[in-house]
């Protein structure tokens, strides 16, 4: 089965951009008429198999909100667990720290790596201090400019960002250019590429339209530049006819993943599982990451998730 849609054409994307002002019944009728009825729903194991060693993997969500934890769990558990991945995130948190601890990540590109109010990300901090992981310095501006360049189909995007700072010393690939019109010196941020993006959504339909609600980070843009996009969703419906944030033509696969972001939050469905985050930190501080990982991959993890929602 070829999961990659051949219908990703600009006219579809432009049409989606106009849907916001159209009534819901008309939206549903338009989607049914114009978007090919391709059922993109697959299993989590099938989705994990799309991530091959050495690629660039982008994870959606922001800090401790709407992170694709269920997908990360499956990726670590997968019989052909990938290695030497480059992690491309707006921000990196619990889900990314698990991947670092599991030895999956070789490079990181993110403007933040931590557990928000819970402190530092323990496995990333350890790997960084030991020089076991390559850190490519990014800021919100460099990520935004790199993605804009890719969306525009050009090799770089000029901006004032980073001028007068020491950041270019850490990133020799970010060069200066002269504006041919004003003569001003600008920074040239290289285009960013992403092989597979995994984004957790509140609702998705079988075609691949997805709703991610507020606090979207760069998820919508990441979905536009990634070669393949995997949507994990709390709920799957036949047709999503309102608040489409990620359109079907850019989606490769959809996976049903109830509580798929836990212990990070997925507003308004559930809050952060603070107790679980603290258990993770305690395990890492006690040099028992492997023990925590064993629990993560066991049936006990599912029981923890269920208990957290009934508490």
CATH for 281: 3.40.1080.10
Mean pLDDT of the chain, nearest integer = 89
pLDDT at position 1: 35
**How many degrees, rounded to 5, is the angle at CA 306 between CA 305 and CA 311?**
100
The answer to the question of residue 166 being in a domain is no
Report residue 299's pLDDT band, with 50, 70 and 90 as the boundaries: confident
Domain count along the chain: 1
- What pLDDT score does 307 carry? 62
184: in domain = no
Taking the CB of residue 17, how many other CB atoms lie within 10 A of it? 9
pTM: 0.88
Residue 248 pLDDT: 94
Residue 1 domain-assigned?
Answer: no
Contacting residues for 106 by C-beta, under 8 A, at least 6 apart = 83, 84, 85, 86, 133, 134
On the 0-12 / 13-18 / 19+ scale of CB atoms within 10 A, 91 is buried
Is 159 contained in some domain? Answer: no
Question: Domain of 229?
Answer: 35-138+193-310
Ranges 7-11, 116-120, 250-254: which has the least confidence? 7-11
Q: pLDDT tens for residues 1-13?
A: 333 333 344 434 4
The model's confidence at residue 230, banded by pLDDT at 50, 70 and 90, is: very high
Identify whether 90 is part of a domain: yes
């Amino acid at each position: 089965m070829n999961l990659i849609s051949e219908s990703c054409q600009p006219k579809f994307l432009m049409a989606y951009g106009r849907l916001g002002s159209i009534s819901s019944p008309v939206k549903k009728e338009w989607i049914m008429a114009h978007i090919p009825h391709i059922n993109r729903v697959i299993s989590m194991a099938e989705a994990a198999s799309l991530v091959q060693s050495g690629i660039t993997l982008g994870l959606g969500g922001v800090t401790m909100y709407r992170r694709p934890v269920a997908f990360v769990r499956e990726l670590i558990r997968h019989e052909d667990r990938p290695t030497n991945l480059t992690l491309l995130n707006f921000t990196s948190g619990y889900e990314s720290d698990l991947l670092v601890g599991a030895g999956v990540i070789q490079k990181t590109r993110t403007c933040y790596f931590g557990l928000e109010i819970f402190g530092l990300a323990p496995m990333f901090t350890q790997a960084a201090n030991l020089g076991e992981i390559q850190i490519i310095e990014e800021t919100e501006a460099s990520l935004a400019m790199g993605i804009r360049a890719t969306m525009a189909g050009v090799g770089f995007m000029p901006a004032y960002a980073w001028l007068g700072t020491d950041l270019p010393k850490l990133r020799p690939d970010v060069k200066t250019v002269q504006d041919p019109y004003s003569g001003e010196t600008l920074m040239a941020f290289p285009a960013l590429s992403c092989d597979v993006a995994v984004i957790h959504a509140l609702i998705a339909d079988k075609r691949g339209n997805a709703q991610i609600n507020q606090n979207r980070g760069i998820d919508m843009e990441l979905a536009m530049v990634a070669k393949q996009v995997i949507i994990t969703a709390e709920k799957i419906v036949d047709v999503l006819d309102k608040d489409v944030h990620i359109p079907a033509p850019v989606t490769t696969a959809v996976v049903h993943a109830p509580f798929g972001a836990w212990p990070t939050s997925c507003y308004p469905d559930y809050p952060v599982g603070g107790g679980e985050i603290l258990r993770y930190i305690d395990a890492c501080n006690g040099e028992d990451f492997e023990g925590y990982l064993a629990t993560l991959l066991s049936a006990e993890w599912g029981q923890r998730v269920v208990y957290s929602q009934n508490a």
